[in-house]
Chains A and B, each alone.
Chain A
Amino acid sequence: MSLFDRLVTRFSGLESALNELDAATGDGDHGSTILKGLKAAADAETGRARFFRTVAGGASGSLFSRLIAALETVEADAMPLGAALGQAADQITQLGQAKVGDKTMLDALVPAAEAANTDPANAATAAAAAARKGADGTKALSARRGRARYVEGKGVGHLDAGAVSVAEMLDEYATWRTSA
């Protein structure tokens, strides 16, 4: 199975859980948005990121399309994982004007890129573990960006749905990479 077909399967199972996570601080459609985009990306021959963005729509579509582009690149072995994730993190930083600690997807993505660069031999599993740890850590954070910023309590006590999605995507990538 291709990486993107696997991601579709995985996020089909996660859709409602991610929607619920998002509902705590946002409009509760994050899982559906990502799944919609992933299906379009999986159906595309090339330029998966653009299809993802168009179909997913909204700000999440623009932000996650940069990670999709990175996954498309490493799927084709066109760049080392750490470099690809680092580039995506830089672009997402510019788009969202966010940084690590703001309770966003970057809290999973930035440590994942660093872990992959530190341990290139086991880049995929190192990135997945770091992303998971980062996503778990968003529970304690108060939001400086994204929807949770406008919610009373700024989302403290809730995982950031975007960070969880990053962790899930990189976990699936690691599984695909080690099984391939």
Chain B
Amino acid sequence: MKKLFNAADRMADDMIDGFVAAYAPVVVRGAHPRVVRRRHPKPRDEKVALVIGNGSGHEPIAMGFVGEGLLDANVVGDVFAAPSADLILEGIREVTGEAGAVLLISRHEGDVINGQAAVMDALDEGLKVRPLLMYDDISSAPKGEEEERRGAAGTIFIYKILGAAAETGMALDDLVALGEDVRARTRTLGAAIAPGVSPLTGQPMFALPDDEIFIGMGVHGEPGVARRKIGPVGDLVGFMMDELLADRPIEAGTPTVALINGSGGTTRMELLTVYREVAAILDARGVPTTSPVIGSLSTTQETAGFSISLLTATPSMLALWEAPQASPDFPRIYGAGAGR
């Protein structure tokens, strides 16, 4: 398969070069070349910094969400590889002041180990930093073992809501508590239609017959937990919504935000069709939907597939979700009051 890059060991670096050049008014490369920071941060002694490290190859997450009202820094690892603890520590040091920092950790083994190791070192250095583990993928561990689950696209709710809350001056411990509350109210389930190609190997990341789909897809191309024959998307979404609502029932009348994430190789036409089905299913249950996001935000190269994330937001969470932000890649959100 054809891929556009200069050299295998420069993929992440060349991408960052392009990103910081294109969006120089809002982002800047950190002291370390794998750290991307906000160009105009608020004083670090007054605002808690939000930092996340992740392997590259999943763009726009997370680098594209650095900016006012969202992330303060992203530490970029090699393709599909968690950044080292040293590198994450570097990112924490660059943005942490008296107000402290939250290190967001999407729950994947390497990210957790290296992230927690970086937090231990940062604490040893006297920095005020707290980790927040993010997990939402219901296919990765059964109900009752939520803490064993992996992070998927629903983690974007945490990024955005904590980003907006930190901007208002919320204190470190309150931010972590808010993040835990968002996490508790979020569930995600994904489906893979066709594999993407790993830039590391040039090979498809998994194999799937032409007429089958995987339910429950890992963000690194791990095969899913159940297979289905392809059919009308309404049937597929119906199945997935049953799973999501069995895992965490939503009472009629509870305002719910849906995030339909594309995995990189699924068109907007398809993603909007998925949203049509999600909204109809919730509507039929008397659940009002608001302020959705539909887009390919957390991707795995050109993997065809999508995930559905649902958040039952409190009014204050919803306000933070809808608050303005100025990162290069986060989509605009249209709440009930928009467009007037």
Contact = CB atoms under 8 A, between A and B. Distances in A.
Interface string A48-59: 001001100111
B116 A54 contact: no
Contacts of B110: 58-59
B84 A58 contact: yes
Interface in B79-116: 82, 84-86, 109-110, 112-114, 116
Contacts of A91: 120
B11 interface: no
A61 B114 CA distance: 9
B236 interface: no
B86 A59 contact: no
B116 A95 contact: yes
Interface residues of A, number: 18
B117 interface: yes
A96 interface: yes
A38 to B, nearest CB: 18
B84 A54 contact: yes
B187 to A, nearest CB: 21
A53 B84 CA distance: 9
Interface in A49-75: 50, 53-54, 57-59, 61-63, 65
Contacts of A2: none
Contacts of B109: 59, 96, 145-146
Contacts of B222: 150
A61 B87 CA distance: 13
Nearest to B88: A62
A58 B82 CA distance: 8
B113 A63 contact: yes
Contacts of A146: 109
Given A62-B117, A65-B117, A54 B112 contact: no
Contacts of A9: none
A95 B113 contact: yes
Contacts of A54: 84, 86
Interface in B108-140: 109-110, 112-114, 116-117, 120-121
A138 to B, nearest CB: 18
B86 A53 contact: yes
Nearest to A92: B113
Contacts of B84: 53-54, 57-58, 61-62
A95 B114 CA distance: 8
A135 B31 CA distance: 43
Given A96-B112, A150-B222, 7 more contacts: A53-B117, A54-B84, A61-B85, A63-B113, A95-B113, A95-B120, A146-B109
Interface of B: 82, 84-86, 109-110, 112-114, 116-117, 120-121, 222
- Which 4 interchain pairs have the tightest Cβ spacing? A62-B117, A59-B113, A95-B116, A62-B85
